[in-house]
Structure 1
């Protein structure tokens, strides 16, 4: 049900945020720059007008999502800190201090599911708009990275042990009597799997791995026989059978039981040959604004370029004239009028000026690598805790939106510091002139 609009006619008699907060604070300034009404107009149709409990204010929920990624917090932490930070409360639309939690942390999960990818893309579009002309550059840099999923490093032994635990849990839930519990056997086999890299233990560990896989297959087949045909666990059992059947070079391998869409991606890093998650495409203007952020599975980089530029056109309203990419994008030279600049050996027909110009452009493209590093360390792109493919895309766009909002906050902070510095120098100059004339006369 739609939330009731709070009345702003009667404010607190002694205290209000607008009169007491520092109006130069970056969060205060950012709250004034964002057009909150577009979120209310876009998300109101997603609520019922008559049924259900009144929902939390839309600005509150959108503000909490922004703060979560701007400050690199979890759902639980951002809700807890909101009750302690008056600037957080003002940013989310409160007019006076509220001594309590704004909502349960799980309500943020439901809100993300409610607005979906289109709603998160609207937040990203607003983060681009508040940065003004810096988002209208004619040249952009495009690159891809990997967003890792919140899963353990996958091995067959781990997956088989999880299948056994889940089968035992299903049997307990459905009160199915298993032919054998394998508790003592599994304890011995787990001990045999330890220290597998030692030359004396390799053979014993491999033998234990095969035995655990055999036990997992027995439990899956036994549950399949004893559970009814229309059981809700049939899909889970089919998943377990697929995991047990896959081999080293199988296509479409499953690396996690709770995140079946995870991909194994190799980016050529020496310290980390394989990463498990999904591919991310980032589009950055030369001024430093992210105007495109999309998630893919494990496509070739060149195949991600056209959808990424289509998103830029959707968010900014136009396509850039030039897009600078690395050699991983071979094959594309022009996408709907956008020239694709690939680094290549200089042509003999080019002048010295043209060679230097292209060299500078490609050196500037390397700046996107640092931006990707900040997205991972500061804005929660390093490890994705959201569920499924939709969760992958939501986390990417929220991280990019948080980067753009923080850029505006830092830009205002630097501008204010420069203003104070100039004021200080002006006063210093006036004092120097005054003292000079004092001693002259």
Structure 2
């Protein structure tokens, strides 16, 4: 059931028993007053039932808490504690006055992530971008009619695309470690099944050799010199223990049909254990080092190894993302756990279609990407959509002066937009935790990733509004009296020059 807040809070009405009224210059107060909460709330409420269930938390409270969590790059529980202790954060999330109670239980974050997909966070980012454009155009109308230049209009029709991986926070996977973890989980399932099987008439618990298997695993990890054959022998031993346990589990379930019922959590783990045993057995028999749909973590079987070929991280383990950057706002156009080719024509078409859905009044003009986006099929897809690719052209270098000059201009535009895309990845990975996704489900992990990009877009939205106000106050003097404009413009020019 949807529960909406009464109205936008005013800072004068928020009181703190210790400090009294809040400081209007605080960063959280400024950010709260600039965000279009009502529009963002519509996206949140579209995922809620209108008449069923208990009343949900107000949209500003939930969205504000998500912003606090990812802006401060803290855990779910720590975000709630920060809100509980900070009156400025309580004003930011829409509370009427300071309270020492928790805003809500941290587990609600997981529930929200299950409901809000990355498409919903893209919609929120698009609302921010259009709100920023509306504010900027309104300010320009107050200052002057010639606020836009031709170059600015051209930049509006340019999108820069790139791909990256959002690594999951999992132990670095090895075949031996994966098999040892799977063996331990199979032993736990046997321990769960045995009491019921014993009551049904079985007299002897299946042997698991858990102590011996554990000693062999620890001894293998402590050995200093380990060759490839040594690893294969150790992995085969752990696999034998795992397969033996799985046979015991299957026999216990078969002998007690209708009596033994595993919980869904352990049933899912059991299915994962069977698949791990199949994959590892196949690789050991064929001598291969890869297999389709390879599982690298027992508890997050959706995570796949993504080969990137980067320095220091040749292979990463997480979701692969295709991101488009438009006027400083980043959008998650494609997110997938299995590896894919980002230069594929379908991926390119997805970027173009997503831009059209976000900007129905505008046609995409230029597509900026690295060499992987410049293959022949991708160029044909862009050409068919009336989009120009900005990047290294195919074929020999040109010889005519006009073509050389055109290539130089394209190289400059390409480098400018590519630097912005790479900088955006650095911002979200180091500043907002995209390099360590801590959600455990496949859907909540993608929601976590999309929320990080939304918070980064919020930072862009705030800086865009601030720049427009400062620039227009300097250029047009819209906040000054007529007699003060000339003097104020001279002061600004001296500051920028010196």
Q: TM-score, normalised to structure 1's length?
A: 0.84
Task: Name the SS of the counterpart of 2:323 in structure 1.
Answer: strand
User: In the TM superposition, what is the alpha-carbon distance from 1:4 to its structure 2 partner?
Assistant: 6.5
Matched, 1:215 2:241: yes
Partners of 1:43 and 1:115 within 8 A in 2 = yes
Is the deviation greater in 294-303 or in 347-356? 347-356
Residue 235 and residue 362 in structure 1: after superposition, are their counterparts in 2 closer, same or farther (change >3 A)?
same
Closer/same/farther in 2, CA of residues 276 and 321 from structure 1, 3 Å limit? same
Partner of 1:439: none
1:170 partnered with 2:189: yes
Is 1:143 equivalent to 2:184 in the alignment?
A: no
Q: How many residues align?
A: 424
Q: What is residue 115 of structure 1 aligned with on the other side? A: 116
> Which SS does the other structure have where 1:262 is aligned?
coil
Q: How far, CA to CA, are the matches of 2:330 and 2:290 in structure 1?
A: 38
Distance change in 2, residues 1:385/1:130 (3 Å): farther
Cα shift at 1:382? 1.0
Q: 1:353 to 1:14 in 2, by over 3 A?
A: closer
SS of equivalent to 2:313: coil
Indicate the residue corresponding to 2:277 in structure 1.
Answer: 244
- Find the counterpart in structure 2 of residue 65 from structure 1: 66
Question: 1:347 aligned to 2:398?
Answer: yes
CA contact (8 A) 1:375 1:381 kept: yes
- Which residue number in structure 2 is paired with residue 184 of structure 1? 211
> Aligned partners of 1:208, 1:47: CA distance in 2, in Å?
51
Deviations 1:75-117 (A, max 9, x none): 1111111112222222211232222210010011112213334
* CA drift at 1:49: 5.2
- Give the C-alpha shift of residue 46 in structure 1: 4.2
Using the alignment, how far apart are the partners of 1:45 and 1:403 within structure 2?
23
Aligned residues: CA RMSD: 3.4
Residue number in structure 1 paired with 2:87: 86
String of CA shifts for 1:15-40, please: whole Å, max 9, x gaps: 389x9333343432332332222344
Please give the alpha-carbon distance, in whole angstroms, between the structure 1 residues aligned to 2:299 and 2:6.
41
Task: Confirm or deny: 8 A CA contact 1:144 1:282 kept in the other structure.
Answer: yes
Are 2:253 and 1:227 equivalent residues in the alignment?
A: yes
Unaligned runs of 5+ in 1: 431-441
1:385-411 superposed Cα distances (whole Å, 9 cap, x missing partner) = 224442343233212211111123345
Cα drift, residue 234 of structure 1: 5.3
Distance 1:195 1:295, change over 3 A: same
For residues 28-427 of structure 1, what are the structure 2 equivalents within 5 Å?
28-44=29-45, 46-48=47-49, 51-132=52-133, 137-175=156-194, 176=197, 178-198=205-225, 206-228=232-254, 231-232=261-262, 235-246=268-279, 247=283, 248-285=289-326, 287-296=327-336, 297-303=338-344, 304-317=347-360, 318-329=362-373, 330-331=375-376, 332-333=378-379, 334-335=381-382, 336-344=385-393, 346-349=397-400, 351=402, 352-367=404-419, 368-411=421-464
Describe the shift of the 1:137–1:394 C-alpha distance in structure 2 as closer, same or farther (beyond 3 A). Answer: same
Given that residues 160 and 213 in structure 1 are in contact (C-alpha distance below 8 angstroms), is that contact kept between their aligned partners in structure 2?
yes
Deviation at 1:192, TM superposition (A): 2.3
Structure 2: how far apart are the matches of 1:56 and 1:234? 33
> How far did 1:124 drift?
2.2
Aligned residue for 1:275, secondary structure, equals strand
Aligned residue in 1 for 2:148: none
